[in-house]
Amino acid sequence: MELRRTARVHIAGHRGLVGSALVRHFTAQGFTNLLLRSSDVTDLRDRDAVRRLYAAERPQAVVLAAARVGGIAANAARPVDFLSDNLRIQLNVLDAAREFGVQRLLFLGSSCIYPKYAPQPIPESALLTGALEPTNDAYAIAKIAGILHVQAMRRQYGLPYIAAMPTNLYGPNDNLDPRTSHVLPAMLQRTHEAHIRKAAQITHWGTGTPRREFLHVDDLARACLFLLEHYDGDAPVNVGTGEDVELRELAELVAETVGYRGTVAWDASRPDGTPRKLLDTSVINALGWKPEISLREGVRQTYDWLRARA
């Protein structure tokens, strides 16, 4: 199922963390006909705008990385935005893809779609077997709807569309806004600022006891192309490292990387979220894919990017 390097490939959301990594990887792999449209040109929440784009450009493959995303604070504060925007983006792109003959499509879900108390590591079969984490349930429901939409496309129209579930992502072009960012970039930014100010102490959210798995976004980009060329099945596929870390350990690694020597404290009045979220990656590993970037190296690379943009 090798994609021709001249194929018209729409990378939806190409300016974001995931989309920009996809552009880097697809370009490095020789793709010469990428379709890239920013939201100020084509708002994917606008059904007519998406239909016009696909009618004019006729993409042959799509990676749907466009989404409203954010950390625990943003999800808890604006659940309607996370539900509504993501549902509209997914419906519009998937329906236009079918209507205008897209041959291959990869929908990106998220590991937060799994039940809060799913077995660890989490197999793909855990989907829809329990209650969600309340702080991101609206986003999770939208992503679950996207996965079911892909599966329905396969059943009703026989289209070889697939879905992947990445774990927590980080890397260049991450969101550093403390109001909306995910845990790792938030830690990096907070620790960097404390280091510059020579602050005696920094405080992170929660107790520091939850465990999280982190995947460098460049590894995810490699996995996306790999799945497009090596997988055609109904079930979504987990994409992760197969290893997790306690957030207290992560905070220590971040402080070491930044060179911060102050005290790291924790605000237990803030929510922890899901206690553990480690993906079972045996399916994608059996297909022949494994991550290449270690957490230590990835955090260093991301901090180099953060400093370069400061």
Annotated binding-site residues for NADP(+) read 13-19, 108-111, 143, 166-169, 182
- Residue 139 annotated to the active site: yes
Q: Report the SS3 class of residue 19.
A: helix
- Pick the catalytic residue from 54, 114, 139, 303: 139
| Residue 29 structure tokens | 């792999």
For residue 165, give the nearest of 118, 202, 209 by alpha carbon.
118
Backbone angles phi, psi at 160, to 5 degrees: -80, 55
Q: Which of 290, 303, 279 is nearest to 110 (CA)?
A: 279
Structure tokens, 302? 């991301």
Binding residue numbers = 13-19, 108-111, 143, 166-169, 182, 190, 205, 212, 272
Residues designated catalytic: 139
